[in-house]
Amino acid sequence: MRRFVAAGAAVLGLLVVLPAQAQQKKELVWCAPVMGSSYYWDVLSAVDLGYMDQEGLSLKLVNNDTPVQGLQFIATGACNIGSITTELAVSAIDKGANFKFIGAEDDRIAFVMLSRPEIGGFEDLRGKTIGVTQLQESTATMIRLLLEKHGVHREEYNFIALGGTPNRYAALVRGAVSATMLSPPFDFKAEGDGMKRMGNAFDAFEGVGVVFVVDDNWAKANAAAVTGFLRGAAKASKFLYDPANKQKAVDILVKYTKSPPEDIAKSYDSFYGKDHIMSRDLNLSEAALQPWMDLRSSAEKPVRYIDLSYLKNAALK
């Protein structure tokens, strides 16, 4: 009799344990410079709203200061999916990295150029030092294009590499540089400190700014998790584009970035309103990537860099 009782207890134990095991979430590591930008609203909202949980995913954030660091994390397996500036991601693949772009955070680049208050116009930046993330990266490229549009050529000013947006913001307000590109909401913060808004990156260049990057081999081996990640982020993007959800959207980004709510609200109006920065469905079209090929005078076709199979499988009904 005791044997039957023991056996019954063992079976009951299995019935209790097995459902818990079945509910264990797949851990994904996502890397992005969250503290420096509003670009990552979709993924952060997907976590906060429970959309990643619904996909059976536990998302771990690794904060990186520069896109190069993010690419290194992906290459070494320290990060599974990265939100990376397009220019550096394209360059990495051109140099042999086994990466693919599986979707887009945005439809256009949100960088805003700001200067010290004593700078009257673009022509006053001749002979000045301008802060960039790295010497060969999107902030430097966008500044060069914007200045060229206003008749100021590359040899007429100096660049200094400072790292992420918080570093560039600090250098600007302290007077270490005369101008820089900042990601929202730091542009509004800088304006509040008396800095002058000079122009937007999309005034000089139209193209996708940040893409979701994966190691191709890892993604193929974890296709269900990649699809779930994209589905969760796409649900969040749909939520964020509904004006009725603005206050909740602001609350979420304030929580993660610690930025003032009024600055986040202004970012929302730009990102999901008048400037239409963020992608509605994470789709990365060849047309959105082609401007980078043209800028690099590259004969490569955008299709080389893109794998949208996961996004198609994640399509919302």
Class for the domain spanning 112-203: alpha beta
- What pLDDT, in 10s, does the model give residues 282-314? 999 999 999 999 999 999 999 999 999 999 999
Beta bridge partners of 31: 62, 82
| Between 20 and 193, residue with greater pLDDT | 193
pLDDT of residue 5: 38
d(CA 3, CA 138): 70
**Tokens 């609203």 identify what position?**
41
Give CATH 3.40.190.10 domain extents, the chain. 25-108+207-313, 112-203
Q: What is the pLDDT of residue 67?
A: 85
Cβ atoms within 10 Å, residue 241: 18
Q: With 0.85 as the threshold, say if the pTM is over it.
A: yes
Instruction: Kindly give the interhelix angle for 246-257 and 41-48, rounded to the nearest 10 degrees.
Output: 100
Task: Give the integer Cα–Cα distance in Å for 88 and 67.
Answer: 7
CATH 3.40.50.150, applies to 25-108+207-313: no
pLDDT at 10 over 80: no
Calculate the CA 249 to chain-centre distance.
16
What does the pLDDT look like over 51-102, one tens digit per residue?
999 999 999 999 887 888 999 999 999 999 999 999 999 999 999 999 999 9
312-to-229, 282, 286, 315 alpha-carbon distances in Å: 13, 10, 15, 5
CA distance 4 to 153: 87
Give the pLDDT band of residue 164 (cuts 50, 70, 90): confident
SS3 call for 42: helix
36: which DSSP letter? G
Highest mean pLDDT among 10-19, 20-29, 207-216 belongs to 207-216
Average pLDDT rounded to a whole number, residues 155-182:
96
